[in-house]
Amino acid sequence: MATLAERLPENAPGLFYVDRSCIDCDTCRRVAPEVFAEGEGHSFVASQPETPEGRRRALMALVACPTASIGTASRTDATPGVRAYPERIEENVSFCGFTAESSFGAWSYFIERPAGGSEERRFANVLVDSPRAAGPLLRALEERGGVATLFLTHRDDVADHETFRKEFGCERVLHSRDVTAGTRGVEIQPQGDEPLRLADDLLMIPTPGHTRGHAVLLYKEKFLFTGDHLAWSERRKQLVGFRDACWFSWEEQIRSMERLLDHRFEWVLPGHGTTFHAASPEAMHAELQRCVAWMKRR
């Protein structure tokens, strides 16, 4: 819970504030960029919201913050922020909000997939990486048909995976090379570097680099859920891999990035960094080529 006594001095005067517990995960700046800005190792309220929509976005950031570092100077009903999640991005793909501190505020996504035959039902609704298992989010997911599959891109963003398993009986997927003591019980542990078709419209693509067992998920050849492998950088105005946060092998990560050139998609939906939507698969391909060339120079 944010505390007024710990309020950062940079905050603009008014209702919303960020306190010293902020871990600089970037979530609030992505959710409400008109309100929150980047400081030295933290975020702060640069401008108080002046419209109902601005206030709703600020409340959404408050709810999504992994460390409860955003507060209000007077008692405020956060319901509009809570009810906003899962927030639709496009078609049946949503952002879950409610990020987890153990995942350093990584973003999780929810795909509402219609159930088909028995095999399809196994991979109906999909959660990509684990959000915080907050009660309002669990209820919202339940109302949308629950979670059949929890796809974990890599070992860092598993957060409350066990709670989701208990709540929904979902099957978890995590590459065997990223399984640790805490994820030993994951139901599906693919091996190797070949793409694995989980369903007609779902392709798991191993992308070692950030970690040994990192993998991305391609949905409908349109949405690529990239975990910590690939993201848009607002500062560089291009797609990037995070060299400073590459825990396994930068060379492997470049090779994994090159292999993504074989696939068509329009959206990059990362755990950290900014979401990117290209005008077409061809435009995305060109951006990805630019990213690979940039990575090789690093």
Q: Which residues bind ligand SF4 (CB under 6 A)?
A: 18, 22-28, 42-43, 65-67, 69-70, 105
For the bound state, the minimum distance from the C-beta of residue 275 to ligand SF4, rounded and expressed in Å, comes to 16
Angle made by CA atoms 260, 263, 264, in degrees to the nearest 5:
125
Task: Please report how close the Cβ of residue 120 comes to ligand SF4 at its closest, in angstroms.
Answer: 36
Cα separation, 157 vs 129, in Å, equals 6
- The residue (of 69 and 226) whose beta carbon lies closer to ligand SF4 is 69
Minimum CB separation of residue 10 from ligand SF4 in Å reads 12
Q: What is the DSSP string of 88-124?
A: EEETTEEE-----GGGTT---EEE-----SHHHHHTS
Secondary structure class of 24 (helix, strand, coil): coil
Closer to ligand SF4 at the Cβ: 22 or 134? 22
Of the two residues 103 and 253, which places its CB atom closer to ligand SF4 in the complex?
A: 103
Of 106 and 150, which has the nearer Cβ to ligand SF4?
A: 106
User: CB 280 → ligand SF4: shortest distance, Å?
Assistant: 32
Nearest to 242 by CA among 204, 282, 205, 272: 272
CB of 42 to ligand SF4, least distance (A): 6
Residue number, 31 or 218, with CB nearest to ligand SF4 = 31
190 in Cβ contact with 204 (< 8 Å): yes
Q: Take residue 247 and report the two structure tokens written for it.
A: 């825990």
